[in-house]
Structure 1
């Protein structure tokens, strides 16, 4: 799927990434963790084809991205879904219109698919609502539906749960696990929340000071919806 071979990225005199090498196969769930300034965001921009390496090779689907034309890069970008920390929903569009937007931008209208995706993420009942009327967890569900509209091969999640409370974080993790089961998608989950990464990711890339320190294998377990009352959850957590 992705192969990085001795990739470095330099902005003027600032080294953002230094000699990064790893491979990710189709269908993996990979976490990327590191302190602020470690290079996570730059790595994500490379994976999203918004940047090209200063040195080294970035290979996506057996193609060296530095050798692709602008048209070919745009075609590859359409196979990449993106989920952001701040949702990036357009406030003047309804939930349904936000999810339909990636299709609209390429001249496609498929209302049935949009409604199917909203049903999949549990937001069909809010299809005519506006983002300002939604909670943070609901906004992220809509953002996930939008990211799936073009049937992506890759889903890039940039701190997708950092703005959410514990319960909504678990809801999003469960949804990502369900997406991984039902769609043939590779997931990159960039986060500083190690507990969340542990719940979701099969392999974790650890970054610091623009370098890849190493890779940690992990065995996530499927999260099940808890029916425990909120008061009991608080009491349980505070008792630890």
Structure 2
């Protein structure tokens, strides 16, 4: 049995979601367990900065284990549509972890679960995010620093695209997308010469340990 309160999956310790009580059995069938069933210490369910606020009369807090990329067959990902791209997944209680994720038509994010992972995603040879100190040499796909330094050129580019294939190596995961006859290449990397940062996305394991699926309404807690 998994320790749902200390998963030790990539950087993720817990995977939670608030659900309506009327749908409780449906979520149980998908492997979700209530906070009482996983023996969350009494009162911790009220830590709204981690889990969000919920009405105990009509809702409950549930936990599960996210599915890793290498736990799914390849055909479960091929021909999926990309609906959106986000850079703010993951939560540590005082803010976001900056996980990059692609929302698929399965209502799940394909998530790179490592801190500020948009810094380690390259789309058509252009990094998704980086620090403004590098903007004189690199213009990332997205920026959220205010004062004329806020833009998003990625969402419109990838939304509506289809996953045609992918390649997985020890430290690189590549998605091949297509949209309106144009090809898109999305590379999740540990490190790459095209990145301005010298640090690596993770220290231990391989990249397949950090690529996972999360429900669009669930939270990865680090």
Task: Name the TM tier (shorter chain).
Answer: under 0.3
Give the TM-score normalised by structure 1: 0.25
Give the TM-score normalised by structure 2: 0.26
Comparing both structures, which one devotes a greater share of its residues to helix?
1
